[in-house]
């Protein structure tokens, strides 16, 4: 039986490796000549630090795209991580056992063929040092850099990292084919739209890597999601707090938003 704590490793070329934790969430390892960066830390069920160590012995910087439990939970395996201050409060709560346990429990019952190792997830009981990321901050890995671009939307502190060598963007959950702005802390559609346009302009012909699925986000998915958001903005704010969803002709992309948080 395959264990939920397994990490699937996929070499994407150009010194970029996708690390997928229990068929659910992606982290990306980016290697330069003198250093390596791990973008997102997974949910924490697997010992991601050990997996990274088996792939590179270069000094490691851990960068978090946003502070949801499936991206920041695995930070417990590392001594320090970088996170934007707008996501700091939520990030700290997701590092505590109750939130992580609930998250892992939910996923255990979603996919019964897999098994979560609670012991592995909780044998680390310390909280990593959290360093504050700034918009425009650059991390030099030797021969390539990763630049931080603040794009609030999915969460207030959502950031994108841009690889100078390939131009690739690592976008976490902010521009997935299913855009989700309705979680606590999600911004208005208008705010997301500004970041999404910035992301699209930055991408050019380069690849966009996201936090879920196979990690590849086609540019057309982003273009279509932007069109949906522009449509929602035309309608303006609604009175209710209810979550609405705007879809194009197919199931995806879809834009989940709160009616009272449009502009």
Q: Give bridge partners of residue 246 from the DSSP assignment.
A: 255
89 alpha carbon, distance to own chain's centre: 17
Phi, psi (5° rounding) for residue 137? -65, 135
Residue 179 vs 229, nearer CB to Zn ion: 179
**Contact indicator for 8, 28 with CB cutoff of 8 Å:** no
CB of 43 to Zn ion, least distance (A): 9
Q: Which residue has its beta carbon closest to Zn ion? A: 68
Count of CA atoms in the C-beta half-sphere (13 A) of 11: 5
CB of 176 to Zn ion, least distance (A): 8
CB of 24 to Zn ion, least distance (A): 8
> In terms of Cα–Cα distance, which of 217, 233, 206 is closest to 177?
217
What is the rounded CA–CA span in Å between residue 7 and residue 167? 26
Residue 47 vs 70, nearer CB to Zn ion: 70
Which parts of this chain interact with Zn ion (CB under 5 A)?
68, 70, 173, 211
| Sheet with 145-150: strands ordered across | 138-140, 145-150, 159-163, 169-170, 208-209
Q: Is 130 in a helix, a strand, or coil?
A: strand
Residue 163 vs 173, nearer CB to Zn ion: 173
Residue 70 vs 163, nearer CB to Zn ion: 70
Residue 49 vs 181, nearer CB to Zn ion: 181
CB of 162 to Zn ion, least distance (A): 19
Phi, psi (5° rounding) for residue 16? -115, 130
CB of 198 to Zn ion, least distance (A): 19
């Amino acid at each position: 039986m395959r264990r939920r704590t397994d990490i699937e490793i996929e070499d994407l070329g150009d010194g970029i490796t996708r690390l997928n934790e229990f068929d659910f969430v992606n982290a990306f390892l980016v290697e330069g000549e003198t250093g390596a960066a791990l973008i997102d830390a997974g949910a924490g069920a697997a010992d991601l630090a050990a997996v990274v160590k088996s792939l590179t012995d270069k000094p490691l910087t851990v960068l978090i795209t946003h502070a949801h439990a499936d991206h920041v939970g695995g930070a417990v395996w590392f001594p320090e991580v970088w996170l934007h201050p707008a996501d700091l409060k939520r990030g700290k709560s997701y590092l505590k056992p109750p939130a992580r346990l609930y998250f892992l429990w939910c996923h255990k019952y979603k996919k019964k063929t897999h098994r979560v190792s609670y012991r592995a997830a909780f044998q680390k009981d310390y909280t990593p040092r959290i360093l504050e990321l700034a918009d425009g901050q650059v991390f030099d890995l030797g021969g390539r850099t990763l630049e931080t671009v603040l794009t609030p939307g999915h969460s207030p502190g959502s950031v994108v990292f841009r690889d100078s060598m390939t131009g690739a963007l690592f976008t976490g959950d902010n521009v997935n084919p299913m855009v989700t702005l309705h979680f606590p802390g999600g911004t208005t559609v208008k705010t997301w739209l500004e970041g999404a346009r910035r992301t699209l302009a930055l991408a050019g012909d380069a690849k966009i890597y996201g936090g879920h699925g196979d990690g590849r986000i086609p540019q057309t998915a982003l273009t279509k999601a932007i069109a949906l958001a522009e449509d929602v903005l035309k309608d303006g704010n609604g009175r209710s707090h209810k979550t609405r969803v705007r879809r194009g002709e197919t199931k995806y992309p879809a834009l989940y938003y709160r009616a009272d948080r449009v502009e």
